[in-house]
Amino acid sequence: MARKWTFTDRRRPGRPGTRRPVKALIVRMARENPTWGHRRIRGELARLGYTIAASTVWEILHAAGIDPAPRRAGPTWRQFLAAHAHAMIACDFLVAETVLLKRLHVLIFIEHGTRRLHLAGVTAHPTGAWTAQQARNLAMDLVDRLTELRFLIHDRDPLFTSAFKAVFEAEGMGVVTTLPRTPRMNAICERVIGTLRRELLDRILILNERHLVFVLREYLIPYNGHRPHQSRQQRPPDIATQPSHDVADLSDQRTIRRKPVVAGMISEYHHAA
């Protein structure tokens, strides 16, 4: 039987009120679903067992300063990213300096849903044609995964030419260009660039372009196959589910083995055989 909520009865002393929780729930539904009007919210409440008049829902939304659905602002950028994370990939350029002060440009891609990192290419003289060719190479490598991706995010760098965008548009993907001076719109890619600097490039001397490619490819192996990610419940990008283990006894540290990788820059830990 549906539970009826009234807003006109006074609460008795010591009796928990119902008005505040219902108001909070209505406001929450409106903010989490920008396209829902007061009648749609009333219907969702009815499914939960809360019977309430549509006019009361409208009054609560009006008092909270929330406009009707047709005039309400659309989803925020964070809501958009959360809803489409599994279908998004982002790219950006990373700059590295060699021991001879030669500047190298690295084009990287990262999938939002899995956090899988891809190295597209390294060059000292990036051009629009070079960037487009790296996009074609990546599309060939991801031929089976491109069907799951729907959006590409990148900044307004002139190296991302129309030819570069056409590669992904031909695969049915939409290209989203970030606003000027808004790095947070490409926050996941910016964050992985910071990770690459802190964990690798700031701790090793790069000799030349060939050396940088070798080091980055070596880093991708533990990054995609071993490194835990908070957004994936501590799972690496290449592991769909976290394997179950018995509770380990850490009192004997000899059962834990350290494996240095990427010239000793990165450490991996495993149970001894």
pLDDT in tens, the chain (273 residues): 445 444 443 444 434 445 678 888 888 888 878 778 888 888 888 888 888 888 898 889 888 888 776 655 566 666 666 667 788 999 999 999 999 999 999 999 999 989 999 999 999 999 999 999 999 999 999 887 888 899 999 999 999 999 999 999 999 999 999 999 888 889 999 999 999 999 999 999 999 999 999 999 999 999 999 888 887 888 889 887 666 555 555 565 666 777 888 877 777 777 776
| Residues facing 88 on adjacent strands | 151
Single pTM value for the model: 0.69
Contact yes or no for 92/164 (Cβ under 8 A):
no
Pair 209, 95: CB distance under 8 Å:
no
**DSSP symbols for 198-266:** HHTGGGS---SHHHHHHHHHHHHHHHHHT--BGGGTTB-TT-SSPPP-PPP-TT-GGGEEEEEETTTTE
φ, ψ of residue 260 to 5 degrees: the values are: -75, 135
Q: Residue 39: in which H helix or E strand, if any?
A: helix 38-47
247, two tokens: 């509770």
Q: Where are the domains of the chain?
A: 3-71, 80-232
Q: Which residues of 192-223 are buried (b: 16+ CB within 10 A; e: fewer)?
A: bbeebeebbbeebebeebebbeebbebbbebb
Fold of 80-232: Nucleotidyltransferase; domain 5 (3.30.420)
Instruction: Give the bridge partners for 229, in sequence order.
Output: 235
